[in-house]
Every structure is written in C-alpha cells, then in structure tokens.
Amino acid sequence: MPLYKQEHLQHISQQFRIYGQILHAELCKIGHINETYTATYEQGGVTVRYIHQKINQGVFKKPVEVMENVMRVTEHLRAKLRTNGARQCTRRSLTVVPTHEGQPFYVDEEGNYWRTFVFVERVQSFESVQTPEQAFEAGRAFGEFQNLLADLPGDRLHETIPDFHNTRKRFAALQSAIEADAADRVRKAKAEIEFALAQEPWIDTLLQAHAEGRIPERITHNDTKFNNVMLDWETGRAMCVVDLDTVMPGLVHYDFGDMVRTTTSPTMEDEPDVSKVRLQMPMFEALARGYVQATRDFLTPEERSHLAFAGKLISYTIGIRFLTDYLQGDTYFRVHRPDHNLARCRTQFQLVRSIAEQEETMQRFVEGL
C-alpha cells in the first residue's frame, strides 16, 4: 500500500474507539464496490484486527441511510442471538465500532464516509462452493438471517439502492444502454444482447406476484454471494453474514435466487469458459435444504412455489446488469481485465440456460422438503 495511503489510514483509524497502535494495514480485494482494509493493531501485548472501509458514494448515494440500516440490523441480530442463547455473538454478527463522538461513521476532509468493524476471526470465505455441505451452510446462513430480522421493529428500512432487484427497470436500463452505445461496444455483444432481449416475457413474474399481494415484502440481504458467508475454520459451519449495505426491503426470492446463482455452478462468476457453467443438482438440493429448514417458520407456500424460478430470474438480472455496465464503459463494477463485465454476463446467461433446463425438477424437490 502506498505510503500516503498508510498515513491517511492511520488518521482514519484514530477517529474510532480502537485502543492500541495500528501496526499495518492491507487492502482487501474481495468485493466489487467498497474500498476495504484489514488493519492490525497492538493492544496490551496481543494483536487485534479491524476492518476499515470507505463507502462507495458513487453506488450508495445516501451513506447516512446505509449506516442507519446497518446499525439497526446488527443491533437487532445481536439482541436476537443473545435471546436465543447463542454463543460467540460477536462472531455471528458484524459489530460496528463507533467514533470517539459515538457516531457509526467518520467523514474525512474530502467528504468520504468511513466505518470500522470488528474483524471476525478464525473464519474464511470462498468465491465458489466446494461441497454440498458448504451449499447447505449458505442456505442456512441467509435463511437464518432473514428469520432473525423478520420481527425487526420500527419503520421500514431505507432502500439503499432503489429498485436494486427490479428486473423490469434493469431491463429498461439495458435497452437505454444499447441505444446510447456510449462505449461503442454493442457490436461486440450482439449475441448477449439478443439473448437478453428474448427473455422479456417472463421477467415480471415476481413483481406481478408481489403487486397482486401473493408474495409479501420481507427484510432481505440482497447480495447473497457465497463469499458473503463466513465459515468457521474448524467446523465449516456458517458463522456470520457480511456485506450489509444492501440489506433493505425485498422479496425472499432475491436472496435465494442469488444463492442459487453463486453456489450451484462449479465456476466463478467470471469464468471465461462457459462450457463449464452449469447448475449442479446436488448443490441446489443442499442449498434448498438449508434455506427451507431455516425459513420454515415464516415462509409461505406461495413464496416456496417460486424458489426454483428465482435462481433463473436473479442470474438473468445480474447478467443484464453486467451487460449494461459493459455497454456503458464499466462505470459500476470494478473490472480487472478487458471485457471483464462481458465475461461475467456470459457466465450468468449460461447459468440461466442451465437452470431453465432443470427448473421443474428443482421445484419438485423444494415442494418435497
């Protein structure tokens, strides 16, 4: 990390209630959006780690509302865990470290919003699922997350990114990007554009069911990639769900669908060889078992009836988001190589095809749980 960043991060670290001396910090490359550092401190002869993170205000336009949501959610999670007699609560839910003024964030001289979390130790995350047991843990972790937040008191949470999973609006954004062709890339993505536009007849299925009152609004995570589940080093059990910026009102299908997208294929989400991309039924079955087991107390039959479809819809929705960003010149997702967003898009669309081929079998399995 460049020296000037170290000096700036030292200044940032001094704004929070951390007692000890910062020894060093490393840039954490996980995630597409926020700038994240793992910082090591010396406290009373032992080393302790924290996470310092700069909120991406290009994505999260109202960082104060983001942090209001994060505080309400994390405090409620810890309270519910304690009530339920859970052990190691600080490893089961993120803990926000306040500033010396008691605020959940610090605004630096350039107007950047910084927050600090206690580092969750002795856990690891994976970019892709390795075993059905891990898929089960992913389903259980996010299902329990939804279950614990089902009785969150108070006003409706802020929508930190309005219409985040609104497929119809994502579709409209894609159409606009195609028409504008701002980065002169439409010609390179003709096959992907053709596929995306051909799926329009079914993209409103969940939105219509919700509008008709057949499926309710819930509090959902909205970014249930497998690498947002921290697994215990020793037991492999899910300990903590992270990356809470998109926790807001939503449909359970958004969470389950994104789990299907990120846990059932043997590849990463930017796999260049799409022939390797496919939904593996054993992974789906393990995922569904974990999720349904954790949500049995509140999930309605109508919600369950759309779970298999959700995987196809969210894979498609993420795919057109990658495609739209590619056509606009890579302005949203961080890219690490040329045509990175186009590769991501192709992977998602191949998974859509694989899910469509197996959707009826998937839903029959869910109904039998």
The predicted-structure confidence for 58-112, as pLDDT tens digits, reads as follows: 889 999 999 999 999 999 999 999 999 988 899 999 999 999 999 999 999 999 9
Q: How many domains does the chain have?
A: 2
Is residue 124 over pLDDT 60? yes
Write down the pLDDT at residue 167: 97
Write down the pLDDT at residue 131: 95
Asked if residue 127 belongs to a domain, the reply is no
Q: Between 4 and 103, name the one with better pLDDT.
A: 103
Same domain, 219 and 103: no
Could you tell me the pLDDT band of residue 7, with boundaries at 50, 70 and 90? confident
Q: Which of 101, 121, 141 is the last residue of a domain?
A: 121
Same domain, 250 and 147: yes
Could you tell me the pLDDT band of residue 334, with boundaries at 50, 70 and 90? confident
Write down the pLDDT at residue 330: 97
The average pLDDT across 280-286 equals 97
Residue-number span of the structural domain to which 251 is assigned: 132-367
Asked if residue 46 belongs to a domain, the reply is yes
Same domain, 168 and 317: yes
Same domain, 141 and 67: no
Same domain, 139 and 33: no
Write down the pLDDT at residue 318: 95
Same domain, 95 and 182: no
Same domain, 229 and 328: yes
The per-residue pLDDT of the chain, averaged, comes to 94
Q: Which of 94, 121, 148 is the last residue of a domain?
A: 121
Q: Which of 121, 141, 156 is the last residue of a domain?
A: 121
Is residue 2 over pLDDT 60? no
CATH number assigned to the domain comprising residue 146: 3.90.1200.10
Same domain, 176 and 261: yes
Give the chain as a 3 state SS string: CCHHHHHHHHHHHCCECCCCEEEEEEEECCCCCCEEEEEEEEECCEEEEEEEEECCCCCCCCHHHHHHHHHHHHHHHHHHHHHCCCCCHHHHCCCEECECCCCCCEECCCCCEEEEEECCCCEECCCCCCCHHHHHHHHHHHHHHHHHHCCCCCCCCCCCCCCCCCHHHHHHHHHHHHHHCCCCCHHHHHHHHHHHHHCHHHCCHHHHHHHCCCCCCEEECCCCCHHHEEEECCCCCEEEECCCCCCEEECHHHHHHHHHHHHCCCCCCCCCCHHHCCCCHHHHHHHHHHHHHHHCCCCCHHHHCCHHHHHHHHHHHHHHHHHHHHHHCCCCCCCCCCCHHHHHHHHHHHHHHHHHHHHHHHHHHHHCC
Asked if residue 126 belongs to a domain, the reply is no
The predicted-structure confidence for 222-263, as pLDDT tens digits, reads as follows: 999 989 999 999 999 999 999 999 999 999 999 999 999 999
Is residue 1 over pLDDT 50? no
Is residue 32 over pLDDT 90? no
Write down the pLDDT at residue 30: 60
Is residue 181 over pLDDT 80? yes
Same domain, 90 and 163: no
pTM (predicted TM-score): 0.92
CATH number assigned to the domain comprising residue 47: 3.30.200.20
